[in-house]
Chain A
């Protein structure tokens, strides 16, 4: 018996009116099973990913999302260039001071003052004969570690505040958001300066990071709290949250194991969005003489030094300025690239 063509439109007459032959039924059943099997396979993968029983967390789904995102990210040239530059700066900040003679960075040596950039001193020397190349990368240690620490503190506070507010909801959410609205009115600079002064008084001999991080985060965590609350609100209505709750998971477990892992992408974006603000904030305060204090040389301190010699040695301000600007641009490029990679349709709010 000849097999009727599968497409009814192409059939002579109407095959749907004829009872199908047994072999054909078997054929169709096989095909249907294959399709259903695919579906079922997908479905079980999904169920595993959402993990009602709390065994593997959301790792399955998360990994594939992250793999997808990192593939998209690696195709974004601007973002990759930014990431490359940031990594290079971090490596230089680690390596250069290790090989350089640390005393070169602080020792005053008038024999080699005001040298222009050369092989021996790639960034030249300042009016005290200090090697700017070494000082720039020692400064990078301070500036970059402050920036990363500030972003992580901001993220931690934002995650805690935002998830509490968003997850509990209701009156608490309302009160917490109103409080946040109120805090938005705080002027950044006065509070940052006051905090620096308080912290410096409490810990006079501490590392700059001890007083700069609180100062730069005190009025900077509001946006990250808002973003995390928004994430929490949109994720907590998902079925897998309800099923985890139905399976008896506690609220804190649902938040930490099911909801927060799904916001990792957003968290990374928040970190990279905060780095430019922290870098510029540190430079601002140090430039005003209220942040990092010499002999500690952050990029802001270097710029402040260079400011005095703008007429005789313009590279003294250009070097820290371009280091600051390129770091800021790279962090923005990375943040934008990650946002696009994680959510190709639109931006993360």
Chain B
């Protein structure tokens, strides 16, 4: 097990290098001339280029970026103020991570419970209702859900009409935070529900369930200890790509529901003139985050599923 963890840790290094290289190449291909300002004296332009290392070859720039990055220096933003990218990111990313983490937890708890209930009531009314909610939550883009939430309108059939209520959103108090967390959670929930429902249905048909029942194990215990545990494996395996999805979703929800996360800074960086340092640092940092989370997923799967070989 220890060698397995070590090997997975070592493997994440080339993966991260690849992600950073791809990000670097793409960023280099972007229109990026922040210092071509005709009102600047050529010598000033030259000095700025040297300050940002833009006068060097691409390979040297990549090497500089890597050495600075691993030391926690993400360079200076080229936007007004020229703040260190590190400060911008560390001011905003924790908020995004908190939002993403809580939404993920909410989605996991609600989604897995709904999936289990759905599977246990297979083809019943509750199953159809849950499937309908999960499908609707998947198909409606999260920005629409967020917009409707913020507008605080509930559309009901004609005799009742439109109800207006005060929906929480923003990030100042914990009550406000309920809004973004719920909406982002709702966007992720269907993935859990679908996965858990499918794998639970499969698990419930296995012979070990019959065996456990035949041995006199109570139904509740059979479901929790045998069916649920086994159906968690595909769910956890698929959690990796879901982290990337949480990031995507949180970008849009942060903008609509006014959460001071990294999304605004990141999207701002693409407005002309493009802040390539910010784009590069954030992209590599997000890749690193996903790689670490995927590593955790693999470790949890290894722990859940004794059949996975650790050699």
B-binding residues in A (CB < 8 A): 179, 181-191, 193-195, 197-198, 201, 276, 280, 283-284, 287-290, 303, 307, 310-311, 314, 317, 321, 324-326, 328-329, 332
Contact = CB atoms under 8 A, between A and B. Distances in A.
A184 B144 contact: no
Nearest to B292: A185
Interface in B203-245: 240-241, 244-245
Interface string B139-169: 1110110011011010100000000000000
Nearest to B162: A314
A290 B287 contact: no
B139 A328 contact: yes
Interface in B221-274: 240-241, 244-245, 247-248, 251-252, 255-256, 266-267, 270, 274
A115 to B, nearest CB: 19
A321 B144 contact: yes
A133 B255 CA distance: 28
Nearest to A280: B141
A198 B29 contact: yes
A188 B143 contact: no
A190 B147 contact: no
Contacts of B256: 307
- Which 8 residue pairs of A and B lie closest in terms of their CB atoms, listed nearest first? A201-B31, A325-B139, A321-B144, A190-B283, A182-B15, A328-B139, A185-B291, A187-B286
B30 A197 contact: yes
B141 A325 contact: yes
A303 B26 contact: no
Contacts, number: 121
Chain A at the B interface: SS class: helix
Contacts of B291: 185
Contact of A187 (B148, B151, B279, B283): B283
Given A288-B252, A290-B270, A325-B136, A190 B18 contact: no
A194 B283 contact: yes
Contacts of A179: 18
B147 A288 contact: no
B274 to A, nearest CB: 7
Contact of A190 (B148, B150, B286): B286
A238 B26 CA distance: 42
Interface centre among A194, A197, A201, A290 (most CB of B within 10 A): A194
Interface of B: 14-16, 18-19, 22-23, 26-27, 29-31, 135-136, 138-141, 143-144, 147-148, 150-151, 153, 155, 240-241, 244-245, 247-248, 251-252, 255-256, 266-267, 270, 274, 279, 282-283, 286-287, 290-291, 294
A185 B294 contact: yes
A184 B244 CA distance: 9
A244 to B, nearest CB: 35
Given A185-B15, A191-B26, A197 B274 contact: yes
Given A188-B248, A314-B153, A321 B141 contact: yes
A164 B157 CA distance: 55
Given A191-B26, A194-B283, A284-B141, A184 B270 contact: no
A325 B22 CA distance: 33
Nearest to A189: B248
A193 B252 contact: no
A76 B270 CA distance: 46
Nearest to A179: B18
A214 to B, nearest CB: 11
A314 B152 CA distance: 12
A311 B164 CA distance: 11
Contacts of B267: 193, 288-290
B282 A190 contact: yes
Contacts of B15: 181-182, 185
Given A191-B23, A194-B279, A303 B139 contact: no
B270 A185 contact: no
A193 B286 contact: no
A187 B26 contact: no
Given A197-B31, A287-B143, A184 B23 contact: no
A77 to B, nearest CB: 14
B140 A321 contact: yes
Contact of A314 (B19, B151, B247, B279): B151
Contacts of A326: 139
Contact of A317 (B31, B147, B274): B147
